[in-house]
Amino acid sequence: MKKDNFTEAFGKADTDSESALTGGFELTDGSRVAVLGGGPAGSFFSYFLLDIAGRVGFVPQVDIFEKRIFSKVGAVGCNMCGGIISESLVQTLAAEGITLPPTIVERGIDSYILHMDVGSTRIDTPLQEKRIAAVHRGAGPKDSTGTRWGSFDGFLLDMAKAKGANHLQGQVTDISLVDGKPVLSVKGGESKQYDLLAVCVGVNTPTLKHFAELPIDYTPPKTSKTFISEFYLGEETVGKYLGSSMHVFLMNIPRVEFAALIPKGDYVTFCMLGEDIDDDLVRRLLETDQVKQCLPPGWEIPKVYCHCSPKINVKGAHPPFADRLVFIGDCGATRLYKDGIGAAYRTAKAAAATAALHGVAAADFRKHFMPVCTSIERDNLIGKFIFGFNRRINKLEQDRKGILGMVLHEQEKPTRPKRMSMVMWDTFTGSASYGDILLRTMHPAFLFGLVRHIVSSFLNPKNFNGRKG
């Protein structure tokens, strides 16, 4: 923690607004709001709290504590993620007036290529438009000297600052409740009391354990280990071999729910989600022909490369709020495996609207914020079922051939309904809710199509070997 920064900012804020610390549960002019964590959840929350409060006519004092430096390469500036901003989030942000510039977006994605051991096929966005953004969360991988693109998290943090939030660079080391109000302490011992604490620390931090020690009822999220790596290829090579497509691998490898190669600017991100992914599993997948065929001929796993094994939330916190405390993004509720940034936006906005329009008591969050978290968690139950079903279907070669056959058939003519293609698209890009996806798979035409293609793969097994769409 830069002591000067903290003392200066808070020393000033203390004298300016001491009297503004309110006893009630409603935020008013000068109310103090601490945002712990300046990742997507923290920045979205700050931005929308200031925006909505401004519309109804008051200005809270919002302090964002963030330990990372998003302008730096490597771990110190990175929030470890695949960096896909989903199609639905890109659209929603555009409607909010937040357009993502090409200085932040490293690649616009308009299609994905589904790779299976039985063949591969390309699926384009419904409108053939680049509506998915591939970004780096920090300034770039650790072996780079910085990419030409800026950090996505830095962009969001700047947006919150431009709305009026204070950014305090450094780590919060202690959290307590004094007279029912949250108090944050930083290295060096300074501490300050707030009317509201928005906890946006994600799940890759030891900070969550502080909340177990508070006299509140909070069970942190359940997590699982994942894997991400960054491989340098150079912009031209990335464009040549991966294009503007995300490459998704559906293979019969145990414990793997999802693996993808995501083209960025000069780098390609390799991402694996599933149950406790370990080095062996990573190597096994990276060495398959399906992965190798997406990369330049002769490509080998480099000896040294930027990689990490972050945790991912697989079951939300409960309850994600208390009086004057709200848990947003990954440390509260998020979507299973997909569109975590979209879920951070949704929960942040719901929390901001609750705090600005209703109040910061547990009852306010229960009534106005919790429904969004519950809807995400309910949808995740369906998501678990879909991924479980996927896993089962992946075990049988004929089923994999059936899926591929159906997608290939749909892609042959533009006029054909794209039932399986869209189910795949939405499952892998996180563009629709799991409930929506499940409903579509129950359509008689979908089921008939799938059965027809599975039967046909049994009858004509040779048709499928290594087919490409």
Closer of 71 and 91 to other proteins (Cβ): 91
Q: Is 400 in the site for other proteins (CB under 8 A)?
A: no
Tell me: does residue 138 bind ligand FAD (CB under 6 A): no
Q: Is 71 in the site for other proteins (CB under 8 A)?
A: no
DSSP three-state, residue 8: helix
Alpha-carbon span 354 to 26, nearest angstrom: 10
Here's the x/- map for other proteins, 25-64, by CB under 8 A: it reads as: -----------------------x---x--x---------
Residue 157 is which amino acid? L
Neighbours of 415 (CB within 10 A): 5
CA distance 260 to 138: 20
Least distance to other proteins from the beta carbon of 356, Å?
9
Task: Please list every residue from 251 through 290 that binds other proteins, using CB under 8 A.
Answer: 265
Which one of other proteins, ligand FAD, none is in contact with 77 (Cβ closer than 5 to 8 A by kind)?
A: none
Q: Strand pairing of 119-124 and 325-327?
A: unpaired
Q: Print burial letters for 332-367: b (CB count within 10 Å at least 16), e (below 16).
A: bbbbbbbbbbbbbbbbbbbbbbbbbebbbbbebbee
With a CB cutoff of 8 Å and minimum separation 6, the contacts of 462 are none
Q: Check residue 337 and give left, alpha or beta (phi > 0: left; psi -120 to 50: alpha).
A: left
| Of the residues 133, 175, 261, 336, which one makes contact with other proteins according to CB under 8 A | 133
Question: Is 194:188 a contact under the CB 8 Å cutoff?
Answer: no
Half-sphere exposure of 469 (CA within 13 A, CB side): 26
**Interaction residues for other proteins, span 98-117 (CB under 8 A):** 99-108
148 contributes a contact to other proteins by CB under 8 A: yes
> In this chain, which of 62, 90, 260, 362 binds other proteins, going by CB under 8 A?
90
Among residues 90, 133, 259, 271, the one that binds ligand FAD under rule CB under 6 A: 271
Q: Of 421, 425, 454, 419, which is closest to residue 439 (Cα–Cα)?
A: 419
Query: Which of the residues 226 through 265 are near ligand FAD (CB under 6 A)?
Result: 226, 228
Shortest Å distance, C-beta 148 to ligand FAD: 21
Tell which phi-psi region holds residue 44, choosing left (phi > 0), alpha (psi between -120 and 50) or beta.
alpha
List residues binding ligand FAD (CB under 6 A). Answer: 37-42, 65-68, 79, 81-84, 171-172, 200-202, 204-205, 207, 226, 228, 271, 273, 310, 312, 329-330, 334, 339-342, 344
List residues binding other proteins (CB under 8 A). Answer: 48, 52, 55, 88, 90-92, 94-97, 99-108, 127-131, 133, 148-149, 235, 239, 244, 265, 346, 349-350, 353, 372, 375
